[in-house]
Amino acid sequence: MKTDFDRIINRRHTHSYKWDQSLKLFGDQDILPLWVADMDFESPPAVRKALEARAALGVYGYSIKNEAYVDAIIHWYQRRHGWTIEREWLSDVPSVVTSLSIAVDVFSEPGGSVILQSPVYYPFYDVIRMNGREVAKNPLVIRNGRYEMDYDHLEELMAGGAKLMLLCSPHNPGGRVWEREELLRLGELCLKHGVTVISDEIHCDLALPGHRHIPFASLSEELSQITLTALAPTKTFNLPGLQSSFIVTANAAMKRKFDYRVKALSLHMTNFFTHEAVMAAYNEGEAWLDELIEYVAGNVEYAIAYLAEHLPEVKPMRPDGTYLLWVDCRGLGLDIKGLKSLMFEKARVAFSEGSAFGTEGQGWLRINLACPRSLLTDALERFCEAASNRS
Ligand SMILES: Cc1ncc(COP(=O)(O)O)c(C=O)c1O
């Protein structure tokens, strides 16, 4: 392995959302943060080089979107996902959540219902409710230790008038990389009931060995016409602070509507730095990503084995993808307050508390595994010890 993912990088006092908010959020400056989904690894060296060269220009004027940037995206999706994206299907947006929010605004009616599958990444709820829509909740069901979709209930929601769905694929926090048959069955229902799909595929590049991400819009021509896919290189290459994202839709009318709103909000201008970083990542970061996935897969195995040995009352859900581990802690017999106190006060670690992902997440915790193994070990030790000694 060329990259030293074991190297500890001190991110404190860098205005880090993850590392420099512990006192404010958890009441303890020195808590180990394994919550928000950014990684404690340096991005691929080519990204840093590209940013340094850009910074060295010294004049930071308005930028234009260049063709090489679009090529880098198109080639990446062709190579890694076998998905052919046409140039005119793409638009830039500052972030994936921006796209989700705009999509709710332009593709649903005020007061209308928007489907999500809970538990799910918490901004899904915000973008629905804060745009004055209702959450139409389709809880995932656990079968054989993993989440599956409840198609009967989904169809009831669609037949009941919900005409927009926010799909999380791969799924955060459950780590499911949805399989072709699952997505096709979902697609059938959407086509039958005239439902538009906003597919958040930000974790698409992080399928773990043995799993393959399938872009929902790539399944068929018909499905590509009802789908807007929200994508970004930011999880893949650890660039979330650069705020770089894009949408893909083959439906020209949908794209026009979406772009109009982006322009109305004046979110269409290109950041001076991001395109250079994204090009470097997609064109030169592939080997780095393969190594990263191997390292994360090692952390997944390590964490699952560690928990099984030291705290068998908790049951991790083995992820197919993402660097997030969703752990069922209901066996500890603690309520939300108790789990928070166990983490923040007794163990002095910050995982994400599960009820933030919806009521179905109550009693669960989400651990961010994208950190050096030694840090993960420290966090697991602290947590298991505190949990074993809880009174
Ligand atoms: C499913 C999902 N969508 C979106 C985001 C955030 O994307 P962005 O920072 O581009 O809004 C995350 C971050 O964790 C995520 O897990």
Instruction: Evaluate whether 94 touches 243 at the Cβ level (below 8 Å).
Output: yes
Alpha carbon of 18 to ligand 1 centroid (Å): 14
In a domain, 164, yes or no: yes
Q: Does residue 97 have its Cβ closer than 6 Å to ligand 1?
A: yes
Q: Does residue 352 have its Cβ closer than 6 Å to ligand 1?
A: no
Total number of domains constituting the chain? 2
- Specify whether 255 is located in the same domain as 364: no
- Alpha-carbon distance 277 to 142, whole Å? 39
In a domain, 233, yes or no: yes
**Per-residue pLDDT tens digits for 345-355:** 999 999 999 99
- Specify whether 65 is located in the same domain as 204: yes
Residue labelled with tokens 């234009």: 64
- Specify whether 365 is located in the same domain as 243: no
- Specify whether 308 is located in the same domain as 203: no
- Specify whether 154 is located in the same domain as 208: yes
- Alpha-carbon distance 75 to 353, whole Å? 38
Ligand 1, pocket-test mutation among 98, 118, 121, most atoms within 8 A of CB: 121
- Alpha-carbon distance 195 to 197, whole Å? 6
> Which of 268, 284, 300 is the C-terminal boundary of a domain?
284
Q: Does residue 245 have its Cβ closer than 6 Å to ligand 1?
A: yes
Instruction: Give me the pLDDT at residue 390, please.
Output: 81
What residues of the chain score a pLDDT lower than 50?
A: none
In a domain, 257, yes or no: yes
- Specify whether 174 is located in the same domain as 189: yes
Instruction: Give me the pLDDT at residue 47, please.
Output: 98
* 115-131 per-residue burial string, b: 16 or more CB within 10 A, e: under 16: bbbbbbbebbbebbeeb
> Which of 264, 284, 304 is the C-terminal boundary of a domain?
284
- Alpha-carbon distance 335 to 13, whole Å? 33
- Alpha-carbon distance 161 to 151, whole Å? 16
Q: Find, among 251, 194, 250, the residue nearest to 77 by Cα.
A: 250
Q: Which atom of ligand 1 is nearest to the CA of 324?
A: 16
CATH number at residue 346: 3.90.1150.10
- Specify whether 268 is located in the same domain as 171: yes
Residue labelled with tokens 């393969």: 290
CATH number at residue 248: 3.40.640.10
Q: Does residue 240 have its Cβ closer than 6 Å to ligand 1?
A: yes
Q: Find, among 296, 237, 204, 270, the residue nearest to 47 by Cα.
A: 237
Instruction: Give me the pLDDT at residue 391, please.
Output: 66
Q: Which atom of ligand 1 is nearest to the CA of 94?
A: 10
Q: Which domain holds residue 27?
A: 22-44+286-388
